[in-house]
Structure 1
Amino acid sequence: MKLDMYEFCTTELQQKLSPMRTKFKEQEEKKMAQKAKLIAEGKLLGPKLAGAAAIAKKDENVEYEPFQFEDGAYEMAGEEE
């Protein structure tokens, strides 16, 4: 998650920040293109596939409790009345 306060800066500060922001953006685009190329070549799993594969391998024999209830009421854990 990123917090970008650029639009709240003064015009003068935006002008000072602009060259480095452009460099960072170009650098990030190169990284993303390189990663996309590796994924396309099959040398790297995408983050969703890698995460799903790891979870599937880890949780092969795990039984899960239902996570939906017909009446829509959920009991919160922690505090008891």
Structure 2
Amino acid sequence: MEDRNLRCTQDEKIEIACCFCLDEDAKTVVDANVPVRMDQEYLLNEKGKLEIVKVWDCSKKTIGAKDVKTFIRANYPNDLVNIS
């Protein structure tokens, strides 16, 4: 990866991802106050870990709050998607 400086001409996005191991029976509060198992909600990556990804859009001269996005990288099975 090239040094990210003012003269960098490569990709204009920087991504940092962190993976976390969870206890098999651990429940996490995701929405309001409902505890869920991350594996049952298909919120784990292909290695069974919780992966949080932050992406910065560095295409502008300055980076503001709107230029940073946070995601969960998950391994959601395609056969559960109902397209009608």
TM above 0.5, yes or no, is: no
Between 1 and 2, higher relative CO (CA 8 Å, sep ≥ 6) is seen in 2
Structure with more helix by fraction: 1
Structure with more strand by fraction: 2
Rg larger in 1 or in 2? 1
TM-score by length of 1: 0.22
TM-score by length of 2: 0.21
